[in-house]
Amino acid sequence: MRFENQTVFVTGGGSGIGRETALRCAREGATVVVADVDREGGEETVAAIEDLAGDADAVELDVTDADAVRDAVDAAADTHGLDVMVNNAGIAQSNDPLEEVSLEERDRIVDVNANGVWNGCRAAIPHLKAQGSGAIVNVASLAGVVGQPWSAAYAMTKGGVAKMTRSIAWELGRHGVRANAVCPGFTDTPMVQGGLEERDDPEAAREALERRYALKRLGDPEEIAAAICFLASDDASFVTGHELVVDGGFTCG
């Protein structure tokens, strides 16, 4: 029970990687605060945790609202304590070249994927520093490591998240707090499924994508959740400032 008597706050916990992270932490003893802009999705995650006899709260939260994020994290810390902050909430971009991406779309991607993670870290850090322990795990992307065509705005934000994580790891180490990033390859989540469905032939697009991976498949959300939970746990007690690529061998080729 790696998270027994600990509280884990997960943004974007209403579906995909966030939901599986919340479930896994709950199975390992955590009280989980499930935050998502989609209230219904967050409540479904909490119901699944309660079915496991776990303890969880749902919070409707827009991570681009810094004051709301601070208030939600403060409330969680006051009620349950705070040991782990998982900044997972994120959005994709349209499959367009840079010059065709509207400034409005770019700004929205930056606001959610970059500012949202900043807001989560900024809200959690004072609590973790005050107790002299804890972990932050930020969900970046393979796109932020190697780039990805027709995803310039997305790659920009995810690369920024990975490097910001390394920066705060230096700041927080002397306070006993660790910070790491997970960089998943394409994972079989609603976000990725939605992107594939926009293609002329979704099945062909999926098969072409799978061929680019050494394991010849996309990742499962549970597999990314396992990596997040490793970095959040004491199993990774000497790991900080790391960008853990979980990509099914994409970068082997």
Bridge partners of residue 57, in order along the sequence: 33
Amino acid (one-letter) located at 204: A
Could you give the residue numbers annotated as active site?
Answer: 154
Count helices and strands (H / E) in the chain: 10, 7
Instruction: Taking each helix axis as running N to C, give the angle between helix 16-27 and helix 221-232, from 0 to 180 degrees, rounded to the nearest 10.
Output: 50
Select from 26, 38, 39, 22 the least CA-distant residue to 91. Answer: 38
CA distances from 59 to 40, 46, 81, 137 (A): 10, 10, 16, 19
